[in-house]
Chain A
Amino acid sequence: MRKGLLWLGAVLLLAALEPNLRGLIGAYNYQILVLVGINIILAVSLNLINGFTGQFSIGHAGFYAVGAYTSAALVRYAGPPVRALVSFLPAVAQDAVLLLMGLLGAALVAGLAGLAVGIPSLRLRGDYLAIVTLGFGEIIRVLILNIDAIGGARGFSGIPQLSNFFWVYLFVLITIATVHNLVDSSYGRAFVSIRDDEIAAEAMGIDTTRFKVLSFVISSMFAGIAGGLFGHFTMYLHPNSFTFVASFYVIIMIVIGGLGSIEGAVLGAVVFTVVLEMFRGFGAFRLINFSVLLVLIMIYRPEGLLGSWTLFKRRRKTGAT
């Protein structure tokens, strides 16, 4: 009950902010804020597999791309008939229906892609997942380049603008709540046990392959949702936004913030996006910031800015237990 009220309050707050925010902080800052939100979804979801489950995936941009293009294509091609079907609703609700349809498709297709990549590669230990996911990301990009219906190398334009601050931050909250609840359950303990000691986890009855795949699929689904939100915000998608460099960006975010900390992933996403934007004038040189930042973090705080610190554990220790 209390939780329901909390969610209602959050939705109302976001809905109240949305129409005024652009005037309040300017269109430029509004756009940065939305990008920060999308990056938070990417970082928090990647942290589930890289941080909590301890498997090294460098293909997050691949699932991001799958989601972005799935949602955009779905809304672009199936949108008009669906809109006609719900034409009795006010325009805002029509947009919401289309967006949610797109995001649902994005999550499902990205999740299936995660399943297809995860089942063979997660059976193996060590670096195989990294190699396979790196390859997967590139395959997806090359595939997109060659599918004309979604723009190919020209890029996919004419995507209706459906997402905005409200939707992005609603999904930021949903992502954080999902990962937080999951990590703080028997599933989360299973994920962390795999990271700590796979042999011992297996000996305690944890089917490690199954849990790795589960974690990977959930992570991929949220990457897909982030992609959908991105496409419907920028209204244009190009394969160049989804190279393996984009995957590394997300890894940098979670390494800066702290692997295995949700708050860390959020902080990392914010720091990364804002710093990247502040140094926009320096062109490609701005990436040097992160090289320097990463070197400094590895020297002075190898566990990341927040390490494995979480709000939750603090509360438990002082709690009734």
Chain B
Amino acid sequence: MGKIERNPTGTLSRRGFLEGSAGLSFALSIPGALFAPRVALADDATPGAIGAWVTISPDGAIVLAIPVAEMGQGSLTGLAMVFAEEMDADWSRVSTTYPPVKPEIFGNPIFGGMMVTYGSGSIRGYWDKVRLQAAAVRNVLMQAAADRWQVPLGELHTGPSLVVHAASNRSMSYGEIAGFAQVPATMPTIDKSALKKMADYRILGKNTPRLDIPGKINGSAQYAIDVQVPNMVYATVLRTPVEGGTPEHVDDAAALKVPGVLKVVPLKNSVGVVAETIEAAFKGREALKVSWSSLPTDSFNSADGMKDFLARAAKLDDKGVSYVAKGDADEAFAKAAKVMTAQYSSEYVYHAQMEPMNVTASVSPAGDSAEIWIGTQGVSPNVFAAAAMLKTTPDKIKLNQFYLGGGYGRRSPADMMPEVLPLAKAMQRPVKLIWTREQDVKSAQMRPMTGHQVEAALDADGKVTGWRHRVVGESVVAYRGTDKALEGAKGIDGILLEGSKHEYAIPNQSIAYLREKRGIAVAAWRGIGAGYNKFVVESFIDEIAAAQNKDPVAFRLELLKDEPRAQAVIKAVVDKSGWGKAVADGHALGFSYAKVVETYVAAVGEVSLDPKTGIVRAHRFWIALDPGIVLNPDSVLAQTEGNVIFGLSQTLKEQVSISGGQIEQNNFYDYPVLRMSEMPEIDIQVMPTDNPAKGMGEASLPLVAPCVGNALFKLAGKRFRALPLSPERVKAVTGV
């Protein structure tokens, strides 16, 4: 503690306000300090602590320990709202802090109890756990009031931060009760049936300003890259140009001559440059000359790889690993009156999170404990990795969580630990390690390149009797974990295959995974597998409809007869968009539907194409979605807007190419992402239903590409089956 110093305009140093008389809750309510390291709030000895998750001050200020990384998705506020709702707290008095790393208390049940933030899993993962915790807190407060007043618990109810005994017209504030309440050693167990119903919600379902936003409009929000630790030095790394390479010969003479450079440290897959300033570290990196070990991946080119992937997708006798086997697909195809076949593909894409990868760490002189300052989706993985590297136990690793300048899956792994810990150990000073943007691109962990073959069996009446989808690509599960992890999942890569399942009533289906091993770093990316798999599914469904001269919406509704939530969002988006009516000259509408992270989404996109340049423009998108219970409606809109823009960016522009095992791109000048002048108008209809709240951070993204592709078919009369739909590729298809 006491190591964080705020910038001069923040005026308060952390040490300053902790020494002051304002008290803990005040300190934590300073905007921008939401993720600042905290004092042991969860300690039962902390005055006002009601269990591990809540501290209530006498003045009624409530601090909730919320174990999610906030990277713009809004789940910090969302989960706090869930907690406050069930606890019946006065929302205006609620602030949050990141809890200490105690996965046994704060872990996410759907991710093996780890403290992680990914897979659009915060709300759906913590939904029951947080509500039950909050209900237990409320119960303790009510019991304390009942004891004080000598009345039965059943005669009490709660209002915003208030316990009320209506019969005697008495009430007591949560703040007052917290001052005397005896908190049981074990918090009471609450039955799920006692939880609040949607109709009784006071906080959830209403537009609620996000708690992190005030600090994000004046520069005070603290990201890990902003941390200032006394006596720290700066570092950057030159990493292996080919994944897995190790430095064989390091010529550091020129780097060490750069004024301010202190040390050059060869690491496992990189070479670290430590300096008194970040500018000196970056200059020193430029001056390094390193030769790297050779690897099989050195010969990999993504263009050739794609040809191989697609060739393999076509070899039906190469069965791969079965993901979905419904009915008898082989028989359906053998008996089919007609078979349709198409090949689709998607390239490697880069997260392009705006905050380059960075971390700060300090290692004890004995080398057996460390303090880490980081913005991470993977709190538990980083703590475990650090403990393993230092041959110590996780409790000896203190991790301070910050806001994340974009995550989208990139900030899940613990890949910075093997760099920062040896550097901090070697320097015996805290080290702030920042990758250059170029390094961030060159060491991208990408959404895997994929090749697909998809087939439909049709009977004489045109009914779809069989579906076959073969997905070829490198395994994310094996890269992120190990081959064993993939074997543990029976060879089924749930990240890569996400979205290949669909709800269409086709009696015989086969979906298979054909694994490739090329040694490329692949990762979860916003929308994970659905980003390309829904492009395949929704484009091909459109192809089948078009081949039968059927309206693509009517065709889908026919196949979704038993899916009322799907029907509802499809009908809503059709009404809103004016589907089927005339559009501007040279424009066309494309449609797609999908269930992503258990959220139902339907989309229509209005698109035009300049045949001469091959430039595709999306003018407008209409989205209708049903995510179950909606916690913060405006946040759902914000996420959906972001999904459309991120999704359009990957649809039209994004591609990492690999030559000689090395990523060819460098920075935003050769890896362009969507800019404001390219954004479409976005019209969103949120359709809440009384179903458990599901993921919003990536649900609509996968719908964008098929909308664009299906609209292009109407404009050009040809199918566009390879992402991204960049001008060169579009022209290659149109032949203009």
- A, B in one complex: no
A-contacting residues of B (Cβ < 8 Å)?
A: none
